[in-house]
Chain A
Amino acid sequence: MTAQALDGPVRTALADLLLAMADDEFVLGFWDSEWTGIAPILEEDVAIASLAQDEIGHAQALYQLLAELEGGDPDELAFGRRPEEYRHAQLLDHPRTDWAFSVARRFLYDTADAARLDALGASAYTPLAGVVAKMRREETYHLLHMHAWLERLATGGQEPRARLVAALERLWPDALCVLAGVEGDDLLVEAGVLAESLAAVRRRWLAGLTPELERLGLPAPPAAPPAGCRGPDRSDDFRWLWEQFTMVRRSDPEAVW
């Protein structure tokens, strides 16, 4: 299926989904990059820099898909919007905080994202299916890595465990935002772009996650996500990050690299 074959409402819903996914990966990549040079051990410094680079790469591919669908320039989408125009999940409004907090957030995000990508692997919108096939292979490494960290902190003594539990309790409500429904996701399911509604993806994610959290004695998810899951209200922390990642471009928007 090509962009021309999509009717108006389906196209709008797909554009919303692509923007949400691209912004998720983009903002997470920039938070991760905040660890470069100061990760807890040298090996992790290398790893988190690679994770950040992967996420920015995924965002670039998704912004490119969006630009092909709706017109526009991927760089302009990435760097040319005001903070309130970003559509990332509220989970990514938090600052990097301490290492346990970053691990908790990444683990929640990576597992939710894996469930979302599972529902797009056979998408009837073939340009998206192609990008997703690549992303899933790379995200497997992220999942394994963050799961290893989750287990290490959960079983690594009193302080790491206490910090991890506090982070999960703080982040859980906002983590549910990653898979909060978007307007028109039923149309995407009907058109075969998405295999199941985001509500169904969320149920599948939580069903897969719960036994593992129980095994490690970690906090379970709350019943429902907060309101206003993907903006337009944004935290001061995200506004600070936005200042950082748009700084060079704002200094000379017309510059050619």
Chain B
Amino acid sequence: MRTLDETQVWEALAEVPDPEIPVVSVVDLGLVHAVELDGDRLRVELLPTFVGCPALELIRRSVAERLAGMAPQVEVEMTFAVPWTSDRITAEGRRKLRESGFAPPGPAAGGDRDSRPLFATIAVWPQVTCPWCGSPDTAMENAFGPTLCRAIYWCNRCRQPFEQFKAV
């Protein structure tokens, strides 16, 4: 057996799709916190996008299944060691999201209450660009969408609804 290196692990991880938005991988979304190779042991730590995301166990299992056999001992765990934020989505991930009709999130500074007044209203949320026609003339319909990580918008120019991956 060839010696396993980290690059191979990352390549394998890049093949594991997100179960709710399968156009992006767990690497595109920045879910991989750590890859550790120590002799026979391969350990991967993943960050949960949303604490209550029902897909977390599914993601963990998909990663474990993809890595199975790459090392004698494979461990895949979720960690809260650092908070996942939407800023972790890679440039490649943002391109893939846009191409499939999702507006990528704006800077997540807007998701942290330290940076905004307690009672800011929805009107002050950053403008989102339509993934279909590129127009900035859009309006939020609902901060909550079909899954915890998605919000619903309407484009005033091309008159299409679209979803945004939430900035958190």
With most chain A CB atoms within 10 A of its CB, the pick from B82, B146, B152, B168 is B168
> How many Å from the CB of B58 to the closest CB on chain A?
14
Cα of A111 to Cα of B113 in the assembled complex, Å: 12
A137-145, A156-164, A176-184, A218-226: which lies at the interface: A137-145
Interface size class of A (residues with CB under 8 A): 35 or more
Contact status A138-B121, CB under 8 Å: no
**Closest partner residue, chain B, to A126 (CB atom):** B81
A sample of 15 more A-B contacts (CB under 8 A), given A130-B79, A136-B113, A145-B122, is A43-B152, A46-B144, A49-B144, A51-B144, A56-B52, A57-B51, A131-B51, A133-B82, A138-B50, A140-B113, A141-B143, A141-B144, A141-B166, A144-B120, A148-B121
Interface size class of B (residues with CB under 8 A): 20 to 34
Say if the beta carbon of B112 comes within 8 Å of chain A. Answer: yes
A/B interface sample: 7 pairs, CB < 8 A: A46-B142, A53-B148, A57-B53, A57-B148, A111-B118, A145-B144, A147-B121
Q: Give A102-139 interface residues, CB cut-off 8 Å to B.
A: 111, 114, 118, 127, 130-131, 133-139
Contacts of A53 in B (CB 8 A): 52, 54, 148
Say if the beta carbon of B129 comes within 8 Å of chain A. Answer: no
Contact status A114-B118, CB under 8 Å: yes
How many A-B pairs with Cβ below 8 Å?
A: 99
Contact status B80-A131, CB under 8 Å: yes
Contacts of A58 in B (CB 8 A): 51-52
Cα of A54 to Cα of B144 in the assembled complex, Å: 11
Contacts of B79 in A (CB 8 A): 130
**Closest partner residue, chain A, to B111 (CB atom):** A137
